[in-house]
Structures are given as structure tokens and as C-alpha cells.
Amino acid sequence: MRKGIVQLVAIGIVIGVALTLVAVLFKWLPESASEEFDRIQVIYWFVTIISIVI
């Protein structure tokens, strides 16, 4: 039973790292041209982090 839990946690960590790399390394949004876009970009990254954690 314990071996299965450790294996699931390890797989979850590996997938989390892979998703984090994809989210950070790829350029998803264009360059900021306004103050409003900066706010939208903060919300985008906040939601991205929450999605990866879930």
C-alpha cells in the first residue's frame, strides 16, 4: 500500500514539473502593450499555477 502511494506522488511530481516547464518556457501571450494587459497577464499566470497544482 505504501509503495503505491509513493509511486503516485512521484508520478504527480514528475507531471507537475513537466507542466510547469511547458507553462513557463513557451511564450503563450504577446508582449504587453498596455497596463490593462499586465493585469490580465497576472491573472493568467495565477490561474495557470492553480491549474497545475490541482
**12-29, pLDDT tens digit by residue?**
999 988 988 887 888 777
Q: Which amino acid is at 17?
A: V
Short-list 24, 43, 23, 41, CA closest to 33? 41
pTM of the model: 0.60
Of 10 and 51, the one with more pLDDT: 10
% of the chain exceeding 70 in pLDDT: 98
Helices and strands (DSSP H and E) totals, the chain: 2, 0
Give the residue ranges of DSSP H helices in the chain.
2-25, 35-53
- Structural domain including 11 reads 2-53
Q: Which residue has the cell 500500500?
A: 1
Longest dimension (CA), the chain: 53
Of 7 and 27, the one with more pLDDT: 7
Domain tally for the chain?
A: 1
